Structure 1
């Protein structure tokens, strides 16, 4: 496994237009609840102005001689009413906006997951599972600050600051201009800081995805890790990734702390301006004491939103960084989008033909070289050859997981590259060496391709696959939970359930890729009968290292270095005496010699030979 969690990657340029476009789409999709939230926010902020405005009348009218004690209760009632309005609207706002944010997050996760599952298989070959999980779960989480409290609070803060600024200009425009200059400097500091913070937040998501990816690999392969005693090495890899994440977070903390510190300095500078300029205005009798008190209240209503904008700006920057990463995935062309321009496909006969097919994973390094192969409907073609000869690549082209670099794959005489993949794969069945079972019941795994299948149908295919007997022995039968990846079942049991799953799907084209190579002889014997029934009437491709399992194939294609070097039946290829005969004889010799390894110092064991002699064996 590569050390993906610790490698450094060059940050990609941020795409502001795309992120803003996605943000506008999100806000428009949830405009109803956002509108309600904005109204509640504005009502709350207007109510918040009442205590500030009442301070001037309290000092200059009610308390100043000769005084107006009759206005004391009405003024207190107005403040109490405004406070109650703030409380009620604040509670309603949190309910509306929080639910809206969670709805938006759920919708985004659904969209990203649907898009990812329809991407071509080559994307999954080069991307860690943990990275994809991070895209779906973590990056979508940040949008709460766009359609949740973030944007609404931002609008509310701007609204409050605007009203407070008007009131301040009315009370003392000179002092107000001094405060505006101070706050403008703070705003410039925030703008500069956020410009630097956004790439840091974007990199944080990338590092988190890489660390999650490696952790997922480690936990998924924990048996291999323990078998080779590499726990310490995996711990070091994770630690390096965790420290990269720590350094990234520390960098962002530094920026946020800088904004907070500057904000504190701004409060001090505003206080100083109020004391010097406001105090002088009172001495010059251009302001009353009530004006000064009201000015201080309105200054707090102006400064507090500006400070809040700093916090909101951090959240929104992090949300936009997540949107950047999501947009990378969403911009990729899916198989559904490719299918729009392709021809529909009805039920196929299963005639498969490869015409001069070349394929290369890396440019200039062909894996398949001019493959020409015809597989008539309802026949079985076995693919044999040494490791790396191109067998799995060939069937991946038949499954449309990859497209030929040149040449064509024809299905019933039609180019597979021009047909709808969804229609084609609905008629495709696969049984692999390590078949994936989901953490559900036996019945759920068998009916995976046909969720509407009845229990009798499930039991019927299980009988054909020689799986019904062992399933019936489970205490819960077909309702037995198999565990993650079918860990609670043996290898042979998982294979037979996979065969039953393929039978229930009723595919026209069947791929059997090393379906029995890891099984013992008894399990293989039971599975071979199920595979034989599965192949009946279907076009089948069989990859097998055990040549004894493919003798009944209608044709055998021998691949070497990406080319078909021999083709024929088992008898024809044995008579030919070429590469297939060589592979067959070598494997036969190994199987015959698996109990003894003759060497220079080998001496027969008389206790082992005696029973054979007594039985009259030659």
Structure 2
């Protein structure tokens, strides 16, 4: 299990993240400002409401007025209370709208950045971690913008405004309020430091648990096949229990902070009540101003207390922002070209690799000093055992990763200098594990060419041996499927993915084991479809079945990231070398 680091976040990093969070509020400046204005107006209405209430109570007690005599005061109190309720509701609605805008903007930034970082970045990330970041991570910012930021502004304005009304009426009470006000934020910060460390640890734990759970669900079929599903369930249970205990520790500190805030609020109000009571007793203060000040005292501390209770929203947002900013500031695996260089068309080779090297981990090269040439219209097959570098070479040729040494030339131009969109427009790819999305079969096939006609789609599906089973479905090409091709067999998913790859006109078509998981008859149909492709398209075929390699113009045998044999299939089979050994093992059923 991944270790959860419990070291507190450095102050400088916390301040930087808090600054980043505040800058994101620019995306919803108007609704957030309106929320602050409405909240401040609602708080200010407490002053006339308290004054009317004080006058009403004074009139009843000391002047023996009846309800009819003070009906105008009661009407004013009810009207102000209703107006305050409307302003409070308006402040909540606008704050939520502003928070929604900020979250949408942050999600858009993340999606754009992840798209810019490309597959080379995503392949190094856990799917569950990215999904958790885009959903729970961004949602964790909600309370920061919907409650904390508006409450911070209201908490900075409203106590000062109330103090300005109390000071002319009773300077002693104003002094007590002035001296007691700083105690709440001071103790909020002191207790908040411990809570902040636990909150950051809690966020890392949640991200880890979400990522692990996502990965387990994704690989549930494999776990069941190997009888490991029970162990995975027990591990998730242990992680959930650890998360529950950690959550209770955070809540314990949060309740402690709330208790401290309530204590100092109660202490401040009690001191004012004692001073007002004694001064009323000795005749130093009239009842009306004294009662008015006593009514305003709790309202003076209310925004400060609310700001303290919302402090956990800031800590949760800072913990989430740490991961969000890390992705937004992640370095690209290779810098994008600054100029949109178009490849010339005068070279004889479509693609040429010169001493290409690549490693996923230092000291463990996936490709080493690899050189080859792929000419237009050529059918080139890559064979070799798992881990020999076939898929890595395909990713480099597609531009999904960048060569770490050597270079890859496209018609004489370095692939690293080509704008990705220019090169992606010229290639088509069927990956080893194709992914279908929730939608119709027609939309899945047309993913790379959305404007393709139905006739073109049918032609591609027929070439991929998919038209037969699609036409037998009740809704044909309009049939809806689930995420990752739910509702189709593994072979049907591969045929849909192959039709998608064949539909797009391309100079280079990369097929990563297109006939895997297919019966012999269907695999033969797909191989025949590949041979019928126009000679204007070069095909790089990663072959597991040697029947696929046999139809290629040329075969490259790879071992430990190097090309150990290169030639025509028939010649290599007769040479007694590595390819002949693969053929013998394949015939005996050893591959």
Query: Which TM-score applies when normalising by structure 1?
Result: 0.88
Please give the alpha-carbon distance, in whole angstroms, between the structure 2 residues aligned to 1:409 and 1:21: 43
Residues 173 and 293 in structure 2, CA contact (< 8 A), matched pair in contact too: no
Q: By how many angstroms is 1:63 displaced?
A: 5.2
Please give the alpha-carbon distance, in whole angstroms, between the structure 2 residues aligned to 1:463 and 1:255: 65
The answer for unaligned runs of 5 or more in structure 1 is 595-618
For 1:287-366, what aligned pairs fall within 5 Å after superposition?
Answer: 287-333=285-331, 338-339=335-336, 341-345=338-342, 351-366=350-365
Q: Aligned residue for 1:241? A: 239
**Are 1:13 and 2:12 matched, yes or no?**
no
Please give the alpha-carbon distance, in whole angstroms, between the structure 2 residues aligned to 1:68 and 1:519: 92
Q: C-alpha deviations, 1:535-567, integer Å up to 9, x for none?
A: 742122111122221123222112222221221
Residues 343 and 412 in structure 2, CA contact (< 8 A), matched pair in contact too: no
The change in CA–CA distance for 1:471 and 1:285 in structure 2 (over 3 A counts) is same
Q: By how many angstroms is 1:133 displaced?
A: 1.1
Residues 361 and 367 in structure 1, CA contact (< 8 A), matched pair in contact too: yes
Q: C-alpha deviations, 1:264-293, integer Å up to 9, x for none?
A: 322442244134322222233222222221
Residues 105 and 144 in structure 1, CA contact (< 8 A), matched pair in contact too: yes
Q: 1:8 aligns to what SS in structure 2? A: coil
The change in CA–CA distance for 1:34 and 1:517 in structure 2 (over 3 A counts) is closer
Aligned length: 587
For 1:248-259, what aligned pairs fall within 5 Å after superposition?
Answer: 248-259=246-257
The answer for unaligned runs of 5 or more in structure 2 is none
For 1:100-111, what aligned pairs fall within 5 Å after superposition?
Answer: 100-111=98-109
The change in CA–CA distance for 1:499 and 1:470 in structure 2 (over 3 A counts) is same
Q: By how many angstroms is 1:34 displaced?
A: 2.1
Q: Aligned residue for 1:402? A: 401
For 1:82-161, what aligned pairs fall within 5 Å after superposition?
Answer: 82-161=80-159
Q: Aligned residue for 1:614? A: none
Please give the alpha-carbon distance, in whole angstroms, between the structure 1 residues aligned to 2:264 and 2:323: 35
Between 1:408-417 and 1:426-435, the stretch displaced more is 426-435
The change in CA–CA distance for 1:137 and 1:12 in structure 2 (over 3 A counts) is farther
Residues 378 and 537 in structure 2, CA contact (< 8 A), matched pair in contact too: yes
Between 1:538-547 and 1:326-335, the stretch displaced more is 326-335
Please give the alpha-carbon distance, in whole angstroms, between the structure 2 residues aligned to 1:520 and 1:144: 51
Q: By how many angstroms is 1:417 displaced?
A: 1.3
Q: 2:408 aligns to what SS in structure 1? A: strand
Please give the alpha-carbon distance, in whole angstroms, between the structure 1 residues aligned to 2:254 and 2:490: 54
**Are 1:479 and 2:475 matched, yes or no?**
no
Residues 202 and 325 in structure 1, CA contact (< 8 A), matched pair in contact too: no
Between 1:271-280 and 1:57-66, the stretch displaced more is 57-66
The change in CA–CA distance for 1:255 and 1:567 in structure 2 (over 3 A counts) is same
Please give the alpha-carbon distance, in whole angstroms, between the structure 2 residues aligned to 1:274 and 1:267: 11
RMSD, matched Cα: 2.7
The change in CA–CA distance for 1:262 and 1:333 in structure 2 (over 3 A counts) is same
Q: Aligned residue for 1:167? A: 165
Q: C-alpha deviations, 1:452-495, integer Å up to 9, x for none?
A: 22222211222222222221111111011233322322333222
Q: Aligned residue for 1:610? A: none
Please give the alpha-carbon distance, in whole angstroms, between the structure 1 residues aligned to 2:254 and 2:220: 39
Between 1:17-26 and 1:27-36, the stretch displaced more is 17-26
Q: 1:540 aligns to what SS in structure 2? A: strand
Please give the alpha-carbon distance, in whole angstroms, between the structure 1 residues aligned to 2:15 and 2:182: 26
Q: Aligned residue for 1:533? A: 532
**Are 1:48 and 2:35 matched, yes or no?**
no
Q: C-alpha deviations, 1:29-65, integer Å up to 9, x for none?
A: 2122223222222221221221222344445577545
Q: C-alpha deviations, 1:500-549, integer Å up to 9, x for none?
A: 11121112111111222332212211221222234742122111122221
